[in-house]
Chain A
Amino acid sequence: MEKKTPLYQWHESHGGRIVPFAGYLLPVQYESGVIAEHNAVREKAGLFDVSHMGEFVIQGKAALANLQRILTNDFTNMTIGRVRYTLMCNDGGTIIDDLVVCKMEEGRYFLVVNASNREKDADWIKAHLSGDVTFDDVSDTYAQIALQGPASPGILASLSNTIPAKYYTLIEQGTVAGIDCIVSRTGYTGETGFEFYCKSADAERLWEKLLEAGKGAGLIPCGLGARDTLRLEAAMPLYGHEMSDTVNPFEANLSSAVKMDKPDFIGKASLTGKEKPSRIRVGLRITGRGIAREHFPVFAGGKPVGQTSSGTFCPWLKQAFAMALVDSAIAQVGTPCEVDVRGKKVEAEICALPFYTKGQK
Chain B
Amino acid sequence: MNFPATLKYTKSHEWVKVLEGGLVEIGLTDYAQKELGDIVFINLPQPGDSISAGVSFADIESVKAVSDIFSPLTGTVKEINSAIQDSPESINKAPYEAWLIRAEGEIPQGELISAEEYQALLS
Contacts and interface: CB of A to CB of B under 8 A. Distances in A.
Interface string B42-73: 01000000000000000101111010000000
Contacts of A293: 66
A35 to B, nearest CB: 4
Given A33-B38, A291-B66, 20 more contacts: A33-B37, A34-B62, A34-B63, A34-B64, A35-B40, A35-B63, A225-B37, A225-B64, A229-B63, A290-B41, A290-B43, A291-B40, A293-B66, A313-B40, A313-B41, A315-B38, A315-B40, A315-B63, A320-B41, A342-B66
Contacts of B40: 35, 291, 313, 315
Contacts of A29: 37
B41 A342 contact: no
* B interface, over-half SS: strand
A320 B43 CA distance: 14
A229 B65 CA distance: 12
A73 interface: no
Using C-beta atoms within 8 Å of the partner chain, give the interface range for chain A. Answer: 10 to 19
Interface string B18-50: 000000000000000000011011010000000
A122 B64 CA distance: 31
Using C-beta atoms within 8 Å of the partner chain, give the interface range for chain B. Answer: 10 to 19
Contacts of B41: 289-291, 313, 320
A289 B41 CA distance: 8
A348 to B, nearest CB: 14
B66 A313 contact: no
14 contacts: A33-B38, A33-B92, A34-B37, A35-B38, A38-B63, A225-B63, A289-B43, A290-B41, A290-B43, A291-B40, A313-B63, A315-B63, A342-B66, A344-B43
Across the A-B interface, the 8 shortest Cβ-Cβ residue pairs: A313-B40, A35-B38, A34-B63, A291-B61, A33-B38, A34-B38, A291-B41, A33-B37
Given A291-B40, A291-B41, A291-B66, A313 B61 contact: yes
Query: Could you say which of B63, B66, B92 has the most chain A C-beta atoms within 10 Å of its C-beta?
Result: B63
A310 interface: no
Nearest to B88: A313
